[in-house]
Amino acid sequence: MATDKPIRIGVMGCADIARKVSRAINLAPNAVIAAVASRSLEKAKSFASANGYPESTKIHGSYESILEDPEADALYVPLPTSLHVEWAIRAAEKRKHILLEKPVAMNVAEFDKIVAACEANGVQIMDGTMWVHNPRTAKLKEFLSVPERFGQLKSAQSCFSLPGDENFLKNNIRVKPDLDGLGALGDTGWYAIRATLLANNFELPKTVTAFPGAVRNESGVILSCGASLSWEDGKTATIYCSFLADLAMDITAIGTKGTLRVHDYILPYKETEASFITSTKAWFNDLVTAWVDPPSEHTVKTASARSVYVGEIKNKGAKPDVFWPSISRKTQLVVDAVKESLDKNYEQISLSGR
Amino acid sequence: MATDKPIRIGVMGCADIARKVSRAINLAPNAVIAAVASRSLEKAKSFASANGYPESTKIHGSYESILEDPEADALYVPLPTSLHVEWAIRAAEKRKHILLEKPVAMNVAEFDKIVAACEANGVQIMDGTMWVHNPRTAKLKEFLSVPERFGQLKSAQSCFSLPGDENFLKNNIRVKPDLDGLGALGDTGWYAIRATLLANNFELPKTVTAFPGAVRNESGVILSCGASLSWEDGKTATIYCSFLADLAMDITAIGTKGTLRVHDYILPYKETEASFITSTKAWFNDLVTAWVDPPSEHTVKTASARSVYVGEIKNKGAKPDVFWPSISRKTQLVVDAVKESLDKNYEQISLSGR
């Protein structure tokens, strides 16, 4: 299905995260940056030059303008979450494929509108959860899927915390109710929830219950929270996300026969390789003084990670792949349920029928 | 305070766990096995010979008999939990120091009776949470206590799961309501709760809330469960325990400045050394393609662990140390609260005033 012509990406907004994604696009063999937009021409221009954009990149001084650009096959949208529903729909209506930063929307109702617009216009949508495209993630899924190595999942714990400094906690868009109003839940929690869903083969939980002890800022934006998720068959998971704690991004998934541990699932310690730890049927020696078959570490080369990041959209050709919006939607559903539980004093929220 | 005479231990019951503890006592320079009891003389005799007990060991054919043995300074009590309150009180009344297997009682009311008997008779009581005496645990506490390395705790996740086979799940005393009726919560959950309390400097949580999705056997004994714990200041923790999942025993503690990870906190992979992973103010490089100051592993020699296990009681001399029963009590309180939450359909349980 791959075509020879590289996909031409328009970058719609000059957020900090767009620097990293721009680099990824520049490194990808099958993608090229064709255009960039900001609300000011000046800002777009200096962003383009600071991030090594090609000379040919079209510079747009408004989001409306980049939507009309015939040179852009797809748009990367790192705008604040509250703007997603408007601009993603407008992009779809202009038949642009969309790489939408996470969280994809303020709630699943908004996202459903975006998906409807994409379907109506035959364009692919995919969210910005970059780590699922890392070659290591395929290895994690492989381990989790082999009955003799991992068995059936029983418990998954995932987290993503980062320490916001004074400036971040005061001024970052992710703590502003009118911009990224889902706060840490929508930002770092999105990844932790996605990790949990991935470990559960994307089966939605039956219930979601937030933990007591969530922290909000004075505007009510979530700075730190956690939740438990449960499935029909006694599987449980927990997620934890925070802007108030040290950098940590861990998955611990315990199955009936094996255990998986990842300490850097979102961004590997190194750019060129990534590790994970597995064990299968580890046990103790006779006198319980040491382990037999203790966990072992595995390393995956990740040199190609950056091209995979962008390539997924292009190689699907004309027919969009419904898998990507389906997992975005499930992630958003769980985000919404955690928020609902928090808003309802930690009530247990059922996801049946959602 | 140390005395030259070794402490003389009586082993009150021939449970499987007593094999390991017997070995520890034999290895300890400051302790000696003086007596062993079972409900049958034959069983006590064969246990003594199978576990390398000294020739001089007194063999008792009943628990009553070992209580009367003037050669035993202290009793190690690995009896089923439902028998603790009776036998620990009787031991205290005979002025025997007590090393009591965990969980210490079926509930904190029972444990309070045991502690009252110990106080009235001036004897030390300590529970069988052996890993807190491992030299590594002191290093973990050190890391957690240094403001510049770890800061203030924000989130702690701890677990202990093990896979019970068909025989275990049918016949083991830990799944029998009339023996170790607290099931996985009292057994593996005890350690996970203790780890959480340790990470919180033994401050009791404000609330405890069990997760939906707990699994019980047909007699109602807990085979798998989890809970969230919360403190006044936005600290949260989760515990997970199971007899239905692969062997896993992890602590992830995230502070404001650092993170601690331990994968084998209860029993290190190796007998002679134990590791843990720490990071302090880890962050990303400018383009967020790799970490700066990623976590690093530290190893502690643990050759002396086995003597520490037993020595603690002896070296306190005549005056019992109230620290040990106080942390047993706190652990039991949280066990009770998780059970109460499970019994009340995952209701949030307040620990205020307990």
What pLDDT score was predicted for residue B348? Answer: 95
Q: Give B99-114 pLDDT, tens digit per residue.
A: 999 999 999 999 999 9
Residue B20 CB-density burial (10 A; 0-12 exposed, 13-18 middle, 19+ buried): buried
What residues of chain A lie within 8 A of the CB of B261, using their CB?
250, 263
d(CA A57, CA A46): 12
Q: Give A191-201 pLDDT, tens digit per residue.
A: 999 999 999 99
What pLDDT score was predicted for residue A141? Answer: 97
- B64: Cβ–Cβ under 8 A, 6 or more apart, which residues? none
Low-confidence residues of chain A, pLDDT below 50? 1-3, 305-310
State the residue for tokens 């987290």: A159
Q: What is the DSSP letter of B69?
A: -
Measured in angstroms, the CA of B347 and the nearest CA of chain A are apart by 9
What pLDDT score was predicted for residue B341? Answer: 98
Higher pLDDT, A90 or B18: A90
- CB–CB contact B255 A263 (8 Å): no
pLDDT averaged over every residue in chain B: 93
What pLDDT score was predicted for residue A309? Answer: 41
What pLDDT score was predicted for residue B250? Answer: 98
Superfamily of domain B7-130+311-324: NAD(P)-binding Rossmann-like Domain (3.40.50.720)
Domain with CATH 3.40.50.720 in chain A: 7-129
Q: Say if CB B335 and CB B182 are below 8 A apart.
A: yes
CA distances from A114 to A88, A91, B258, B262 (A): 6, 10, 40, 43
How many beta carbons lie within 10 A of that of residue A114, not counting itself?
Answer: 25
The interface predicted TM-score (ipTM) is 0.93
d(CA B212, CA B189): 16
d(CA A84, CA B177): 55
As given in the structure block, the two tokens for residue A160 are: 């993503």
What pLDDT score was predicted for residue B2? Answer: 46
Residue A292, strand partner residues: A283
Which residue type sits at A88? A
Domain with CATH 3.30.360.10 in chain A: 132-307+332-350
Higher pLDDT, A112 or B310: A112
Q: Give B114-143 pLDDT, tens digit per residue.
A: 999 999 999 999 999 999 989 999 999 999
Q: Say if CB A281 and CB A197 are below 8 A apart.
A: no
Q: Flag whether pLDDT at B244 surpasses 60.
A: yes
Q: Flag whether pLDDT at B302 surpasses 60.
A: yes
CATH number corresponding to B132-307+332-350: 3.30.360.10
Specify the 3-state DSSP secondary structure of A93. helix
The minimal CB distance from B234 to the residues A224, A287, A294 is found for A224
* A60-76: burial string, b at 16+ Cβ within 10 Å, e else: bbebeebbebeebbbbb
What residues of chain B lie within 8 A of the CB of A20, using their CB?
287-289
d(CA A278, CA B65): 49
- B218: Cβ–Cβ under 8 A, 6 or more apart, which residues? none
Q: Say if CB A225 and CB A184 are below 8 A apart.
A: yes
What pLDDT score was predicted for residue A65? Answer: 97
- CB–CB contact A254 B245 (8 Å): yes
Domain with CATH 3.40.50.720 in chain B: 7-130+311-324
- CB–CB contact A244 B288 (8 Å): no
Higher pLDDT, B238 or B15: B238
Tell me which chain A residue has its CA closest to the CA of residue B272: A290
**Topology (CATH level 3) of domain A7-129:** Rossmann fold (3.40.50)
Residue A254, strand partner residues: A155, A259
Mean pLDDT on B180-197 = 98
Q: Flag whether pLDDT at B7 surpasses 70.
A: yes
Q: Give B61-82 pLDDT, tens digit per residue.
A: 999 999 999 999 999 999 999 9
- CB–CB contact A213 B236 (8 Å): yes
Tell me which chain B residue has its CA closest to the CA of residue A303: B289
Measured in angstroms, the CA of A260 and the nearest CA of chain B are apart by 10
Mean pLDDT on B262-275 = 96
Higher pLDDT, B288 or A58: A58
